[in-house]
Amino acid sequence: MFNFFVDEAKRHGDVFYIDGADFNHIKNVLRMRVGDELLVSCTGKSHLCVIENFESDTAAVKITSEDYRSTELPVEIVLFQGLPKADKMELIIQKTVELGISKIYPVEMSRCVVKLDAKKKNAKQSRWQAIAESAAKQSKRNTIPQIGEVLNYSDMIEEAKKLDLFLIPYENKDGMLATKAALNEIKSGMKIGILIGPEGGFEESEIAAAENTGGKTVSLGARILRTETAAITAVAMCMLHIEMGENE
Ligand code: SAM
Protein backbone atom coordinates (compact mmCIF):
# COMPACT_ATOMS: atom_id res chain seq x y z
CA MET A 1 0.00 0.00 0.00
CA PHE A 2 1.31 3.44 -0.93
CA ASN A 3 2.23 5.91 1.82
CA PHE A 4 2.00 9.72 1.50
CA PHE A 5 3.11 12.44 3.90
CA VAL A 6 0.46 15.16 4.05
CA ASP A 7 0.58 18.47 5.90
CA GLU A 8 -2.01 18.90 8.66
CA ALA A 9 -3.30 22.04 6.89
CA LYS A 10 -4.73 19.76 4.18
CA ARG A 11 -6.90 17.87 6.62
CA HIS A 12 -10.55 18.94 7.05
CA GLY A 13 -12.43 16.68 9.43
CA ASP A 14 -11.72 13.12 8.38
CA VAL A 15 -10.77 14.01 4.82
CA PHE A 16 -7.34 14.92 3.41
CA TYR A 17 -7.35 17.07 0.26
CA ILE A 18 -4.15 16.04 -1.53
CA ASP A 19 -2.88 18.32 -4.31
CA GLY A 20 0.42 19.18 -6.04
CA ALA A 21 3.05 16.52 -6.82
CA ASP A 22 1.36 13.90 -4.65
CA PHE A 23 -1.95 14.41 -6.48
CA ASN A 24 -0.18 13.97 -9.80
CA HIS A 25 1.56 10.84 -8.49
CA ILE A 26 -1.71 9.33 -7.23
CA LYS A 27 -3.79 10.15 -10.30
CA ASN A 28 -1.39 10.04 -13.24
CA VAL A 29 1.57 7.91 -12.20
CA LEU A 30 -0.02 5.30 -9.95
CA ARG A 31 -3.36 5.72 -11.77
CA MET A 32 -5.21 5.14 -8.52
CA ARG A 33 -9.00 5.21 -8.63
CA VAL A 34 -11.91 6.12 -6.34
CA GLY A 35 -12.21 3.36 -3.73
CA ASP A 36 -8.48 2.56 -3.71
CA GLU A 37 -6.80 2.47 -0.27
CA LEU A 38 -3.59 4.26 0.75
CA LEU A 39 -1.76 5.32 3.90
CA VAL A 40 -1.52 8.99 4.86
CA SER A 41 1.10 10.01 7.43
CA CYS A 42 0.38 13.30 9.15
CA THR A 43 1.94 14.78 12.32
CA GLY A 44 3.63 11.49 13.12
CA LYS A 45 0.52 9.32 12.79
CA SER A 46 -0.33 6.96 9.96
CA HIS A 47 -3.99 6.73 8.85
CA LEU A 48 -5.59 4.15 6.59
CA CYS A 49 -7.58 6.04 3.94
CA VAL A 50 -9.69 5.51 0.85
CA ILE A 51 -9.92 7.77 -2.20
CA GLU A 52 -13.39 9.35 -2.06
CA ASN A 53 -13.21 11.42 -5.26
CA PHE A 54 -11.01 13.44 -7.58
CA GLU A 55 -11.55 17.12 -8.30
CA SER A 56 -9.59 18.97 -11.01
CA ASP A 57 -6.29 19.04 -9.15
CA THR A 58 -7.12 17.47 -5.80
CA ALA A 59 -7.82 14.01 -4.46
CA ALA A 60 -10.28 13.84 -1.55
CA VAL A 61 -9.03 11.01 0.65
CA LYS A 62 -11.17 9.87 3.58
CA ILE A 63 -9.75 8.36 6.79
CA THR A 64 -11.18 4.91 7.41
CA SER A 65 -8.87 3.98 10.30
CA GLU A 66 -7.28 6.76 12.35
CA ASP A 67 -3.76 6.18 13.76
CA TYR A 68 -3.80 2.88 11.89
CA ARG A 69 -0.29 1.63 12.61
CA SER A 70 2.82 2.99 14.27
CA THR A 71 6.09 2.15 12.58
CA GLU A 72 8.15 4.48 14.73
CA LEU A 73 10.61 3.25 17.38
CA PRO A 74 9.84 4.12 21.02
CA VAL A 75 13.42 5.45 21.24
CA GLU A 76 14.82 8.48 19.34
CA ILE A 77 18.05 7.49 17.58
CA VAL A 78 20.33 10.28 16.30
CA LEU A 79 23.19 9.35 13.95
CA PHE A 80 26.28 11.59 13.93
CA GLN A 81 28.05 10.51 10.75
CA GLY A 82 31.63 11.52 9.95
CA LEU A 83 31.39 12.98 6.43
CA PRO A 84 32.15 10.05 4.10
CA LYS A 85 33.51 10.13 0.55
CA ALA A 86 31.44 10.04 -2.66
CA ASP A 87 27.75 9.10 -2.40
CA LYS A 88 28.09 6.86 0.68
CA MET A 89 26.06 9.38 2.71
CA GLU A 90 23.07 8.70 0.46
CA LEU A 91 23.30 4.95 1.17
CA ILE A 92 23.68 5.60 4.92
CA ILE A 93 20.64 7.89 4.93
CA GLN A 94 18.47 5.50 2.93
CA LYS A 95 19.30 2.45 5.06
CA THR A 96 19.16 4.11 8.48
CA VAL A 97 15.80 5.73 7.63
CA GLU A 98 14.46 2.25 6.81
CA LEU A 99 15.83 1.11 10.19
CA GLY A 100 13.98 3.81 12.14
CA ILE A 101 16.52 6.63 12.62
CA SER A 102 15.09 9.94 13.92
CA LYS A 103 17.75 12.42 12.83
CA ILE A 104 21.09 12.37 11.01
CA TYR A 105 23.81 14.99 11.45
CA PRO A 106 26.75 14.95 9.01
CA VAL A 107 29.90 15.77 11.03
CA GLU A 108 33.19 17.33 9.92
CA MET A 109 35.98 15.28 11.56
CA SER A 110 39.79 15.49 11.45
CA ARG A 111 40.23 12.56 9.09
CA CYS A 112 37.38 13.43 6.73
CA VAL A 113 38.61 13.63 3.15
CA VAL A 114 35.50 15.50 2.04
CA LYS A 115 35.50 19.27 2.68
CA LEU A 116 32.25 21.10 1.87
CA ASP A 117 31.90 24.86 1.45
CA ALA A 118 28.66 26.61 2.55
CA LYS A 119 27.09 26.35 -0.91
CA LYS A 120 27.87 22.64 -1.22
CA LYS A 121 26.59 21.99 2.32
CA ASN A 122 23.20 23.51 1.45
CA ALA A 123 22.95 21.63 -1.83
CA LYS A 124 23.92 18.35 -0.20
CA GLN A 125 21.48 18.86 2.70
CA SER A 126 18.56 19.37 0.28
CA ARG A 127 19.49 16.26 -1.68
CA TRP A 128 19.99 14.22 1.47
CA GLN A 129 16.61 15.37 2.86
CA ALA A 130 14.90 14.25 -0.38
CA ILE A 131 16.53 10.82 0.03
CA ALA A 132 15.28 10.65 3.62
CA GLU A 133 11.73 11.47 2.47
CA SER A 134 11.81 8.86 -0.28
CA ALA A 135 13.11 6.18 2.11
CA ALA A 136 10.49 7.16 4.70
CA LYS A 137 7.73 6.74 2.09
CA GLN A 138 9.06 3.36 0.93
CA SER A 139 9.45 2.02 4.47
CA LYS A 140 6.04 3.36 5.53
CA ARG A 141 7.46 5.50 8.31
CA ASN A 142 4.98 7.74 10.17
CA THR A 143 7.47 10.60 10.11
CA ILE A 144 10.22 11.84 7.81
CA PRO A 145 13.58 11.86 9.63
CA GLN A 146 15.42 15.16 9.49
CA ILE A 147 18.90 15.67 8.03
CA GLY A 148 20.56 18.25 10.27
CA GLU A 149 23.06 20.85 9.11
CA VAL A 150 26.71 19.75 8.81
CA LEU A 151 28.22 20.07 12.30
CA ASN A 152 31.82 20.67 13.27
CA TYR A 153 33.15 18.41 16.01
CA SER A 154 32.60 20.79 18.92
CA ASP A 155 29.00 21.51 17.86
CA MET A 156 28.45 17.74 17.64
CA ILE A 157 29.77 17.40 21.22
CA GLU A 158 27.25 20.04 22.36
CA GLU A 159 24.43 18.07 20.70
CA ALA A 160 25.71 14.85 22.32
CA LYS A 161 25.38 16.42 25.78
CA LYS A 162 21.56 16.47 25.28
CA LEU A 163 21.44 12.67 24.83
CA ASP A 164 20.38 10.03 27.37
CA LEU A 165 22.93 7.59 25.92
CA PHE A 166 25.82 8.26 23.51
CA LEU A 167 27.41 5.28 21.72
CA ILE A 168 30.74 5.60 19.95
CA PRO A 169 31.48 2.60 17.75
CA TYR A 170 35.29 2.73 17.82
CA GLU A 171 37.50 0.64 15.56
CA ASN A 172 40.15 0.19 18.28
CA LYS A 173 37.72 -1.04 20.96
CA ASP A 174 38.26 -4.69 21.94
CA GLY A 175 35.60 -7.18 23.00
CA MET A 176 31.81 -7.03 23.07
CA LEU A 177 31.16 -6.58 26.80
CA ALA A 178 30.87 -2.78 26.53
CA THR A 179 28.56 -3.19 23.54
CA LYS A 180 26.26 -5.55 25.43
CA ALA A 181 26.24 -3.28 28.50
CA ALA A 182 25.45 -0.21 26.40
CA LEU A 183 22.56 -1.93 24.59
CA ASN A 184 21.10 -3.02 27.92
CA GLU A 185 20.95 0.62 29.02
CA ILE A 186 18.51 1.51 26.21
CA LYS A 187 14.98 2.21 27.52
CA SER A 188 11.78 3.37 25.83
CA GLY A 189 11.50 7.14 25.64
CA MET A 190 15.27 7.65 25.53
CA LYS A 191 17.15 9.84 23.04
CA ILE A 192 20.29 7.96 22.02
CA GLY A 193 23.15 9.02 19.75
CA ILE A 194 25.57 7.00 17.60
CA LEU A 195 28.83 8.55 16.38
CA ILE A 196 30.52 6.92 13.38
CA GLY A 197 33.94 7.95 12.13
CA PRO A 198 34.77 8.59 8.45
CA GLU A 199 36.92 6.25 6.33
CA GLY A 200 40.03 7.38 8.21
CA GLY A 201 38.50 6.71 11.63
CA PHE A 202 38.87 8.73 14.83
CA GLU A 203 41.72 10.79 16.19
CA GLU A 204 42.47 9.90 19.83
CA SER A 205 41.54 13.47 20.82
CA GLU A 206 38.11 13.05 19.21
CA ILE A 207 37.46 9.88 21.17
CA ALA A 208 38.58 11.60 24.41
CA ALA A 209 36.23 14.55 23.80
CA ALA A 210 33.30 12.24 23.05
CA GLU A 211 33.99 10.11 26.14
CA ASN A 212 34.19 13.28 28.26
CA THR A 213 30.49 13.90 27.53
CA GLY A 214 29.70 10.43 28.95
CA GLY A 215 29.94 8.72 25.57
CA LYS A 216 30.65 5.00 25.61
CA THR A 217 33.05 3.42 23.11
CA VAL A 218 31.75 0.12 21.79
CA SER A 219 32.95 -2.56 19.38
CA LEU A 220 30.93 -3.73 16.39
CA GLY A 221 32.97 -6.94 16.20
CA ALA A 222 36.50 -8.05 15.44
CA ARG A 223 36.54 -6.87 11.82
CA ILE A 224 37.07 -3.35 10.49
CA LEU A 225 33.80 -2.23 8.85
CA ARG A 226 33.53 0.44 6.17
CA THR A 227 32.02 3.64 7.55
CA GLU A 228 28.73 2.98 5.76
CA THR A 229 28.61 -0.61 7.02
CA ALA A 230 29.34 0.54 10.57
CA ALA A 231 26.56 3.14 10.52
CA ILE A 232 24.00 0.66 9.23
CA THR A 233 25.18 -2.09 11.61
CA ALA A 234 25.11 0.14 14.69
CA VAL A 235 21.62 1.49 13.96
CA ALA A 236 20.32 -2.00 13.13
CA MET A 237 21.85 -3.38 16.35
CA CYS A 238 20.03 -0.72 18.44
CA MET A 239 16.78 -1.06 16.47
CA LEU A 240 16.60 -4.83 16.88
CA HIS A 241 17.46 -4.61 20.57
CA ILE A 242 14.66 -2.07 21.02
CA GLU A 243 12.08 -3.93 18.92
CA MET A 244 12.80 -7.25 20.65
CA GLY A 245 12.72 -5.58 24.04
CA GLU A 246 9.30 -4.14 23.24
CA ASN A 247 7.99 -7.62 22.53
CA GLU A 248 9.31 -9.17 25.73
N1 SAM B 1 40.70 3.85 9.47
C2 SAM B 1 40.30 2.90 10.50
C3 SAM B 1 41.24 1.72 10.57
O4 SAM B 1 41.75 1.34 9.51
O5 SAM B 1 41.34 1.16 11.66
C6 SAM B 1 38.91 2.36 10.18
C7 SAM B 1 37.81 3.36 10.31
S8 SAM B 1 36.28 2.62 9.84
C9 SAM B 1 36.47 2.52 8.13
C10 SAM B 1 35.14 3.96 10.00
C11 SAM B 1 34.32 3.96 11.29
O12 SAM B 1 33.48 2.82 11.35
C13 SAM B 1 35.14 3.91 12.55
O14 SAM B 1 35.67 5.15 12.89
C15 SAM B 1 34.09 3.41 13.54
O16 SAM B 1 33.24 4.46 13.93
C17 SAM B 1 33.34 2.39 12.71
N18 SAM B 1 33.85 1.04 12.84
C19 SAM B 1 34.35 0.28 11.85
N20 SAM B 1 34.64 -0.97 12.29
C21 SAM B 1 34.31 -1.00 13.61
C22 SAM B 1 34.36 -2.00 14.64
N23 SAM B 1 34.79 -3.24 14.41
N24 SAM B 1 33.92 -1.66 15.87
C25 SAM B 1 33.47 -0.41 16.14
N26 SAM B 1 33.38 0.58 15.21
C27 SAM B 1 33.81 0.28 13.96
Q: Is any atom of ligand 1 closer than 6 Å to the C-beta of 178?
A: no
Question: What confidence score (pLDDT) does residue 66 get?
Answer: 94
Q: Is any atom of ligand 1 closer than 6 Å to the C-beta of 169?
A: yes
Question: What confidence score (pLDDT) does residue 39 get?
Answer: 96
- Tell me how far the alpha carbon of residue 125 lies from the centroid of ligand 1, in angstroms: 24
- Residue 201: strand, helix, or coil: coil
- Tell me how far the alpha carbon of residue 14 lies from the centroid of ligand 1, in angstroms: 49
Q: Is any atom of ligand 1 closer than 6 Å to the C-beta of 219?
A: yes
Question: What confidence score (pLDDT) does residue 246 get?
Answer: 62
Sequence spans of domains, the chain: 3-65, 76-246
The CA radius of gyration of the chain, in Å to the nearest whole number, is 20
What CATH number belongs to 76-246?
Answer: 3.40.1280.10
Q: Whose CA is nearest to atom 3 of ligand 1?
A: 201
Angle between helices 204-212 and 153-160 in degrees, nearest 10: 30
Q: Whose CA is nearest to atom 6 of ligand 1?
A: 201
Angle between helices 88-98 and 118-138 in degrees, nearest 10: 40
- Produce one character per residue of 144-159: b if its CB has 16 or more CB atoms within 10 Å, e if not: bbebbebbebeebbeb
Q: Whose CA is nearest to atom 18 of ligand 1?
A: 171
Q: Is any atom of ligand 1 closer than 6 Å to the C-beta of 50?
A: no
Question: What confidence score (pLDDT) does residue 245 get?
Answer: 84
- Tell me how far the alpha carbon of residue 167 lies from the centroid of ligand 1, in angstroms: 13
Cα–Cα distance measured from residue 176 to residue 180, given in angstroms and rounded to the nearest whole number: 6
Q: Which of 83, 85, 170, 171 to mutate to test the pocket of ligand 1 (most atoms within 8 A of CB)?
A: 171
Interval 143-157: pLDDT, tens: 999 999 999 999 999
pTM: 0.92
**Which CATH superfamily does the domain covering 3-65 fall into?**
Hypothetical PUA domain-like; domain 1 (2.40.240.20)
Interval 66-122: pLDDT, tens: 999 899 999 999 999 999 998 999 999 999 999 999 999 999 999 999 999 999 999
Q: Which pLDDT tens digits describe the chain residue by residue (248 residues)? A: 899 999 999 999 999 999 999 999 999 999 999 999 999 999 989 999 999 999 989 999 999 999 998 999 999 999 999 999 989 999 999 999 999 999 999 999 999 999 999 999 999 999 999 999 999 999 999 999 999 999 999 999 999 999 999 999 999 999 999 999 999 999 999 999 999 999 999 999 999 999 999 999 999 999 999 999 999 999 999 999 999 986 55
Mean pLDDT over all residues of the chain? 96
Ligand 1 nearest atom to the CA of residue 195, by list position: 16
- Tell me how far the alpha carbon of residue 196 lies from the centroid of ligand 1, in angstroms: 8
Q: Whose CA is nearest to atom 10 of ligand 1?
A: 227
Q: Is any atom of ligand 1 closer than 6 Å to the C-beta of 221?
A: yes
Q: Is any atom of ligand 1 closer than 6 Å to the C-beta of 79?
A: no
